[in-house]
């Protein structure tokens, strides 16, 4: 009802479980999926992994009960572009859908910084090192923006920190996504931690990017 009430969002389908969601994505043009985690049969994590593995697949926002639910971390590893708690206000939900549709990430505001740090730490710890630092492709300014993203800074905050306009920050973010072949802002966080641009567990930049 909430989504149907706004002009720029159309509800094109509903699914009762993960298997139905996967089937729906295969037959229906969809931009953004709102995915429940705990469902019978194919759960939201498995469904998210399947949906995001498609080259033309939609972006996924996971809805969870608790801010730091382990399922939320698993969903991000599976390719979700973010998560929201189920008691999120209508404005938060609508903003998240629009943000993810535009290529950004949607993370519950109360835990954004802690989430990206914990997620990056657990991902780096569990992933084999490739010794490939793709960030050598970046300009010094792009590295600054990437470091700020990895610390959970919003575009508005980055603009203030670096004395840039928000439109310039958005341009830098777009270039980062393209140069690093990142699917979204969450993926940029992982790359930044893997490259050592920010220190795991310390929440600060690891190298000089001035």
Q: How far apart are CA 124 and CA 131, in angstroms?
A: 12
pLDDT of the residue at 76: 76
85 vs 19, 32, 66, 139, 186, CA distance in Å? 22, 17, 6, 36, 17
* Residue 132 parent element (H or E): none
pLDDT of the residue at 14: 92
Coil, helix or strand for 2? Answer: coil
Q: How far apart are CA 27 and CA 48, in angstroms?
A: 16
6 vs 1, 53, 91, CA distance in Å? 9, 29, 11
In tens digits, what is the pLDDT along the chain, a chain of 210 residues? 888 888 899 999 999 899 999 999 999 999 999 998 888 889 888 999 999 988 888 999 988 776 555 676 777 778 888 888 888 888 888 988 988 888 777 765 555 555 555 655 665 555 544 445 678 889 999 999 999 988 778 888 899 999 999 999 999 999 998 999 887 787 787 788 778 887 655 444 444 333
Domains of the chain from N-terminus onward: 3-107 (3.40.50.2300), 122-194 (1.10.10.10)
Question: Is this prediction's pTM over 0.85?
Answer: no
CB 195 within 8 Å of CB 134: yes
């Amino acid at each position: 009802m909430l989504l149907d009430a706004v002009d720029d969002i159309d509800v094109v389908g509903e699914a009762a479980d993960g298997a139905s969601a996967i089937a729906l994505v295969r037959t229906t043009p969809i931009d953004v999926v709102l995915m429940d985690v705990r469902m019978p049969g194919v759960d939201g994590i498995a469904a998210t992994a399947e949906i995001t593995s498609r080259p033309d697949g939609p972006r996924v926002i996971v809805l969870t009960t608790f801010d730091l639910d382990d399922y939320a971390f698993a969903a991000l590893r599976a390719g979700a572009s973010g998560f929201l708690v189920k008691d999120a206000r209508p404005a938060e939900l609508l903003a998240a859908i629009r943000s993810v549709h535009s290529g950004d990430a949607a993370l519950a505001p109360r835990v954004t910084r802690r989430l990206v740090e914990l997620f990056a730490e657990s991902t780096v710890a569990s992933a084999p090192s490739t010794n490939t630092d793709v960030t050598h492709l970046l300009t010094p300014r792009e590295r600054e923006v990437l470091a700020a993203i990895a610390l959970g800074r919003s575009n508005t905050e980055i603009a203030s920190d670096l004395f840039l306009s928000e439109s310039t920050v958005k341009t830098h973010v777009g270039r980062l996504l393209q140069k690093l072949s990142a699917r979204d802002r969450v993926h940029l966080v992982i790359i930044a931690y893997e490259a050592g641009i920010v220190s795991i567990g310390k929440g600060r930049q690891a190298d000089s990017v001035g």
